[in-house]
Structure 1
Amino acid sequence: MTFRAVLFAFTADLIPLYALYALLFAAHGLNAAQISSLLAIWSATSFVLEIPSGAWADTVDRRHLLILSGSLLTAGFTAWTLFPSYLGFAAGFVLWGAAGALRSGTFEALLYDDLHARTATAHYPKLLGYTRAAAESAALLGILAAAPLYARGGYALVAWSSVGMAALHVLAAVALPSAPKSVSTADIEDLEEDPDTTVDNFATPESTEPSAPQPASPGYLAMLRSGLREAFRVKIIRRGVILVALLNGMTAFDEYFALLADHAGAGPSLAAILVAVTVAGSLAGSLLAGRTEGMRATTMALALAVAGLLFTTGALVAGSAAHHTAQLYVLTAVGFTAVGIAYGIDYNTDVIASARLQDAITGPARATVTSVSGFATELMALTVFAFAALASTWLPIPTMIALLGLPLLLAAALVPTWLPRDRDE
Structure 2
Amino acid sequence: MRYSKLKPETYISRSVDSQLQALLGAFGGIELCGPRWSGKSWTAQAFGESVTRVDESGEIYADDPQLALVGDAPHVIDEWQDVPAIWNVVRHRIDDSANRSGQFILTGSSTPPESEKRHSGAGRIARLRMHTMSLAETGDSTGAVSLSGLFEDRFEPMQSHLGLADLADIVCRGGWPALQTGELTNPKAVAAGYLDALFEVSMPHAGKSPVLSRRIATSLARNVATSATMGTIRSDIAALGDVAPADATISSYLEEFRRNYFIEELPGWDAPIRSRSRLRTKPKRYLCDTSLVASLLGVDPSRLLKDGQLLGLLIESLCIHDLLVYVSALPESYGSSLRYYADADGLEVDAIIELADGRWAAVEIKTGESKVEKAAANLTRLAAKVAANPAARNPKPSFMAVLLGKGTMARRRGSDGVYVIPIDTLGA
Work out which structure has the larger RCO, using CA pairs closer than 8 Å and 6 or more positions apart in sequence: 1
For Structure 1 versus Structure 2, the TM-score category normalised by the shorter chain is: under 0.3
TM-score by length of 1: 0.24
Larger Rg: 2
Which is strand-richer, 1 or 2? Answer: 2
TM-score by length of 2: 0.23
Which is helix-richer, 1 or 2? Answer: 1
